[in-house]
Chain A
Amino acid sequence: MSAPTAAQGIANLRDDSLPPLHVPLRFFVTATVFLVLVGTLWLWQGELVFVARWSPGMLASTHLLTLGFFTMIMFGALFQVVPVLGGRPVPRPGLVATITHLGLSGGTLLLSAGLWAMSPGRMQFALVLLGCALVVFVPTVAVCLLRRHATALRPVRFAGLAFVVTIGLGVLMASAIAWPGLGIAFRAWTDLHAACGGLGWGMLLVIGVGYQVVPMFHVTPPFPNVATRWTVPAVVLGLVLLALPAPAPIFGTVAIAGFGLAHVAVTLSLLHRRRRRRPDATVLAWQCGLVILGIALLLALADAVLPATVRPSSRIGSFDLLLAVLFALGGLGTIVLGMLTKIVPFLAFLHLQRRALPVLAATRELPPMAEFLGLASARAQVVLHLVTAAAIAATVLHPPLTAVAGALLIADGALCASILLRAASRYRRAARAIDRILDTAKATSQITT
């Protein structure tokens, strides 16, 4: 019996390393819906949302964005990123994705509604739904991340640990509302919860994924060993210091801001040295997002070191809220959206390539990567998001601008959704064309044998 040809091998290949495209795509599209939802909330409630950090509208908006947008995208991305970085593929990805997606979506909506109304009933249901999602997703992905020798996953593991701490604190605080009789003083934990979520989960994950995708997609030199070795542990140490009594949090902020700023500088330098210098929306997103992140970290550093000077002289009532907007929406949000515009076409192409390989002629149906999103659309997305983030920052300073920020956020989410759905539609058309060629080839070979 002759050895199988490479093409036959590909046809017989059961590729478990990459889950189907619809697994991450459902998370990405749902995330954009949450952006639209927040924008709608702001249009409805107006400046009441921005009058205080603890306003019902702000509490609801914060969690719709952190869980419904950021975490939703990051969860979707992890299904694909973990095997590419050397981890094990997520087992039974369809089932894990379905439970996680439904639990996270429904749980986030109920959590936000519960925070809005301070409703114990809604919080209880939210905890159940979110609990189902996290109990399935977190251990499943944790096992995949613990593969030996996959050093590229080390930052992602730390980010995962920060996520678990964030959720633990979140559950504690949500329980205070769900079961008021427990007498939990939840406000004491809010700053640490926010820090672990934003700096630990958000920033560490972007740093860790960035260590791989920046050199991978933009053909830059690799990150220096000294950066990859020390940045993440320093940020983790900084987070631990934030949880300790004064004056430890000052040192924690200095560590996090210092190493964060160094990471910003190194990444910008690497992008400047990339081989291919053509215009690229993702590079624009990285550059702008990193600069804004740097500004937020500088402000946080100045505030920690000179609190009596920076905060009063800025005359900003909601200094913390402005920092959060710059850091999360302007910084991390821009980078995450930029990465989506690169990762989604890449994944679509990869899936189609594997589909087409049994018959070389079918590879003609592979559209260029740029056709999945369109360079102009990707660039427009990044620019619109930057304008939206600027509008939201302005709204913190001048709450009557809430309706403008809300309208822009709706447009931001809607544009992103349309771009992703167009990519999905292009993928399906190409897949059908490839399948037609494969069917013809199969029928032809059956006729001739």
Chain B
Amino acid sequence: MRERRIDVSELEPPQPMTVVLEALQALAEDEYVVLAHRREPFPLYAMLPGLGFAHRTRKGRATAFEVLIWRRAGPTPEIG
């Protein structure tokens, strides 16, 4: 699967939500998003199941959090 990395860690709200929702709408079948953020996006978590996406959060490399988001109907990416 191909990784699509989005860093929203220096954006003010509501830009992070705007950016990630636009990316999810355009996400290809074989892609998943790695969302790098400085905080956990709880409102986004609540929306993802209804959009048909699953997610997993891990400690980020350069940012506090990384949220992996992929289509529930598709393959699950390898989570490092």
Residue pair A83, B38 in contact (C-beta under 8 Å): no
Distance to closest chain B CB from A400 (angstroms) = 45
Of the candidates B10, B11, B46, B73, the one having the most CB atoms from chain A within 10 angstroms of its own CB is B46
Closest residue of chain A to B29 (Cβ to Cβ) is A3
Residues of B within 8 A of A6 (CB): 24-25, 27, 51-53
Given contacts A6-B27, A9-B51, A357-B21, contact A17 B71 (CB under 8 A): no
Chain B residues lying within 8 Å of A397, measured Cβ to Cβ, are none
> Bound complex: CA of A218 vs CA of B10, how far in Å?
9
Q: Please state if A215 and B21 are interface contacts (CB–CB under 8 Å).
A: no
Whether B71 pairs with A3 at a CB distance below 8 angstroms is yes
Question: Does A59 lie at the interface of the complex (its beta carbon under 8 Å from any beta carbon of B)?
Answer: no
Q: A4 on the interface (CB 8 Å rule)?
A: yes
Report the minimal beta-carbon distance from B35 to chain A, rounded to whole angstroms.
15
Pairwise interchain contact A15-B13, C-beta atoms closer than 8 A = no
Per the bound structure, the CA–CA distance linking A18 and B44 in Å amounts to 11
CB <8 Å contact, B25 and A17 = no
Given contacts A6-B27, A350-B43, A353-B17, list 10 more A-B pairs with CB under 8 A: A6-B51, A10-B50, A17-B43, A17-B47, A18-B43, A86-B40, A216-B39, A346-B13, A350-B14, A357-B21
A residues adjacent to B (C-beta < 8 A): 3-7, 9-10, 12-18, 83-86, 212, 215-219, 222, 275-276, 346, 349-350, 353-354, 357, 360, 369
* Chain A to chain B contacts (Cβ below 8 Å), 28 pairs: A6-B51, A9-B50, A10-B21, A10-B47, A13-B47, A15-B46, A15-B47, A15-B50, A17-B46, A18-B43, A83-B42, A84-B42, A84-B43, A212-B39, A215-B38, A215-B39, A216-B13, A217-B12, A219-B12, A222-B64, A346-B14, A349-B14, A350-B43, A353-B14, A353-B18, A353-B21, A357-B25, A369-B14
Q: Which residues of B contact A (CB under 8 A)?
A: 10-14, 17-18, 21, 24-25, 27, 38-40, 42-43, 46-47, 50-53, 64, 71, 73
